Amino acid sequence: MQFLFFFNPFVEIEEGVFEITKAGLHLKAMDPSQISMISFTMPKESFLEYSVDEEKKIGLDIEQLSSVLSRGSRGEKAELGVEDGRFVIRFVGEKKKRTFKIPILDIGEGMQKEPKIDVKNVVKINADSFKEVLKDAKLVSSHIRLSLAAGQFVAEVRGDSGDVRAEFEKDSAEIAEMKIAVDAKATFPLQYLEDITRASPGNEVITLYIETDKPLKVEYKILGSEVKYFLAPRIESE
């Protein structure tokens, strides 16, 4: 398997089992606090070369994997494989080669199941615009309420040092699509939202599925790969 460079959407995840199939790489993993879950798919078309003789499940330390992959440079190819019971990452440049081998962990065979959510509402918003909303919100609070009603997407926070409210109309330049079947609102931890959207390309869209007091589903694409996150809400009493 070869590709030009890697990215790190695996925030908050310490370890996980990658499924290496003839169709590509797949990962579903829960963070240790069980507040967020990632479902990641990198199809074989995202690779410069992709060859799998035998489908495998490989447990890896995500932080270690990300640290090694971050050592790649533009212009280098990263070759991934398994040798002698270890996961191999080899960076290949012009007349040079660097090889890293990291342990394969025994962390179980099965993949996590995605939460079952009856999705009625969806907002597709420019990634940079949403990230700016989160930065604004962090000035006054550690949690943010997302709501949909009357053709509007609203993000708001209330804190001891003030309030922040951002409103987006359905036909605003930042919104690519908005479908509201029923009014919805839910509150989520800001740091998690910042972390899980950090890898999203700024000029692309982030898709949010928002239901009242249910996990938030976040989707975006990176270079043909699909990233999905589920984030548990904070249940608030009125």
In CATH terms, are 2-103 and 122-231 the same topology? yes
Taking CA atoms, 9 is separated from 27, 130, 136, 196, 228, in Å, by: 11, 17, 22, 7, 10
Give all strands (DSSP E) within 12-112, no chain letters: 15-21, 24-30, 36-43, 56-61, 77-83, 86-93, 96-103
Q: Is the pLDDT of residue 106 over 90?
A: no
Residue in the block written with tokens 């040092």: 161
Give the pLDDT confidence score for residue 168 in this predicted structure. Answer: 98
Q: Contact, 136 vs 167, CB < 8 A?
A: no
For residue 207, how far is the Cα from the chain centroid? 11
pLDDT digits (tens, 9 = 90+) for 168-214: 999 999 999 999 999 999 999 999 999 999 989 988 999 999 999 99
In this predicted structure, what is the pLDDT of residue 5? 43
Note the CATH architecture for domain 2-103.
Box (3.70)
Give the type of residue at 215: P
Of the candidate CATH numbers 2.40.110.10, 3.30.2010.30, 3.70.10.10, 3.40.50.2300, the domain formed by 122-231 belongs to 3.70.10.10
Backbone angles phi, psi at 221, to 5 degrees: -120, 145
pTM confidence score = 0.86
Phi then psi for 118, rounded to 5 degrees?
-80, 95
Which pLDDT value is given to residue 11? Answer: 60
Q: Domains of the chain: which residue ranges?
A: 2-103, 122-231
